[in-house]
Amino acid sequence: MELVYALLIILIIACLLAIVYVFYYNKLQEAKLKVNEAESIIDENLRKKYDTIIDIKNLIDNTIKNNKINFKDLNNLKELNLSNFDLDRKLDEYMNLINTVSEDHKKINDSKEMDEFLSEIKRIDEKITSAKSFYNNYITESNLLAKKFPSNIIARIHGINVKPFFDNKNMEDEDINDFKL
């Protein structure tokens, strides 16, 4: 009779452990899916932003005679193996150049096409900002689960590691240079 009770207690403990395992595994997978969804939205909108910037560059080239504005490497940007974070920074650099050109050339600044392109860029940037926030929220959740007991054991079993935030800043290291803009 004692053997039956001992086996029953072991079975109950095993079931409880299985429930805890499934619960934390599902939470880790949910966070991973949300992160992947946000990455997809960011990627899609960065591609749209790139295409719109190419359109703006072509408008500038066609509007300004003797154009000496250098959009170096813009056409080759897709071939570079850049992370979404690096691509976002590069596209922002080109947008700063475009804004400077637009301010200096009244003909471009008054163009209806330019207004439409800039409005499109603004909509895209709003989507990217929202997706970055969404991404960082779920990265925070995923990282907490990957660090806390007992979910850290489950994360290790399934190869889920701590990931950096979208801005690529690592709060765990000693490198302060990644906090510079």
**For 101-155, how does the pLDDT look when each residue is reduced to its tens digit (9 = 90+)?**
888 777 777 788 988 999 999 999 999 999 999 999 999 999 999 999 999 999 9
More confident residue, 159 or 167: 159
The percentage of the chain sitting over the pLDDT mark of 90, rounded to a whole number, equals: 56
DSSP designation for 75: T
Question: Range of 113's domain?
Answer: 2-34+43-179
Note whether 102 and 108 are within 8 A (CB): yes
Mean pLDDT value across residues 61-68: 74
Backbone angles phi, psi at 45, to 5 degrees: -75, -30
Q: Which residue has the tokens 């806390």?
A: 148
Mean pLDDT value across residues 72-85: 80
> Using CA atoms, how far apart are residues 94 and 60, in angstroms rounded to an integer?
13
Closest residue by Cα to residue 84 from 121, 49, 118: 49
Q: Please give the pLDDT value at position 168.
A: 56
Closest residue by Cα to residue 131 from 16, 65, 52, 34: 34
* Count of domains observed in the chain: 1
Residue 59, both tokens: 């408008």
Task: Tell me the pLDDT of the chain averaged across its residues.
Answer: 86
Which pTM value belongs to this model? 0.80
Q: Please give the pLDDT value at position 174.
A: 52
Closest residue by Cα to residue 53 from 37, 36, 69: 69
**Which residues touch 99 (CB under 8 Å, ≥6 apart)?**
none
Mean pLDDT value across residues 66-84: 76
Per-residue exposure over 61-79, b if at least 16 CB sit within 10 Å of its own CB, e if not: eeeeeeeeeebeebeebee
